[in-house]
Structure 1
Amino acid sequence: MHFRKATILDLNEIQELFVQTIQSVCKNDYNPDQINAWVSGVKITERWVDVIEKQFVLLAIIEEQIVGYGTLKNNNYIDLFFIHKDFQRQGIAQKIFNELEIEAKNQDSKIITSDVSITAKGFFEKNAFFVKAEQKNIVKGVEIINYKMQKNYK
């Protein structure tokens, strides 16, 4: 596995990974209506282009396939963080997180925050994040619960 920064040419594969991961990995924590509302965000092309152009987007690659990615917005906010459904529980998330954390520290960030799904909450807790608040987001008329989480640095 190796890492590289994303380019606009990666957009379709990144979006496909987003949808497939949510539909398969998150199905035990969210119902079909919630999943459909959540993945509908893939259609907001301007947001995805904005992520690629303005955020630190790190891709994990195995044999030319994107197996996961994480994004860092404003040097201290993990905006997107997804691991391919066929590459779960192989340590990829931890390696991506470690690289995002290094980038945040290199930018002198004192905290990292993220809005974390029920599915990902345990991973973030294992990485010393704490829950600041449970959030009830309404997307396309459907309530989706996630958590505002934070990790502090000395």
Structure 2
Amino acid sequence: MDDRILIRPYTPSDIDATIDIFLRAIREVSSKDYSPAEIEAWARVEDRSRWAERRISRPAWIAEFDRKPVGFSDLTGDGCLDMMFVHPEFQRFGIASLLLSRVEDEALRLGFGRIYTEASRTARPFFERKGFRVVTRQIVEKRGQALENFLMEKFYG
């Protein structure tokens, strides 16, 4: 493991970093898999306080590279890996794998036998490599756009 990468708990002061990572990952990475209209509908954070509440209401982690936030993930109370995004400049550094490992450790600690996610077209291959299987293809409505994603799950134990 690269000792410049640290996975640590999310703190309220991470709000701006997580929003930036989220928006840039969608606009610069997922744009290869979604249309410009779909990206415009998806890549928005209209309510910062709601964003902050969601991050702090559940186990969430920040990936830092040389002490700079470069990724984040979380886990809801029902075993959903709700968000996992990595800054475009830090793709292929193993950051998503480290975040997923932390999420899985927490899921096991909480006694979950399964975790699931709603993976974008962009993220689907990553999750498949990590042992998740597609349950179903979904269409999610975002600001008048129909975005495709995939309900995926992985069982433990």
State the TM-score, normalized to the length of structure 1. 0.95
The Cα offsets for residues 10-54 of structure 1, whole Å up to 9 and x where unpaired, read as 1011101100110000111001100010012x1132431222221
Q: CA separation in 1, counterparts of 2:117 and 2:36?
A: 24
Aligned with 1:77 (options 76, 80, 85): 80
Moved over 6 A (4+): none
Which residue of 129, 132, 135 corresponds with 1:132? 135
Question: Contact 2:7–2:98 at 8 Å: present in 1 too?
Answer: no
**2:96 aligned partner:** 93
Deviation at 1:132, TM superposition (A): 0.8
Matched, 1:7 2:29: no
Q: Does residue 57 of the first structure (1) align with residue 63 of the second (2)? A: no
Aligned residues: 153
- Name which of 38, 43, 55 aligns with 1:34: 38
- Is the Cα–Cα contact under 8 Å of residues 18 and 39 in structure 1 kept in the other structure? yes
8 A Cα contact 1:131 1:148, kept in partner:
yes
Cα RMSD for the two superposed structures: 1.1
Which range is displaced more, 49-58 or 82-91? 49-58
CA contact (8 A) 1:75 1:103 kept: no
Shift of 1:75: 5.6
Give me the identity figure in percent.
30
Residues 87-130 of structure 1, C-alpha deviation per residue, up to 9 Å, x if partnerless?
00111111110111011000000100001000000010111111
Contact 2:26 2:43 in 1 (8 A): yes
Aligned to 1:117: 120
Provide the C-alpha distance between the structure 1 equivalents of 2:105 and 2:47, rounded to a whole number of angstroms: 29
Q: Deviations over 1:34-87 (max 9, x none)?
A: 0010012x1132431222221111111112211111111116110110011000
CA distance in 2 between counterparts of 1:153 and 1:6 reads 25
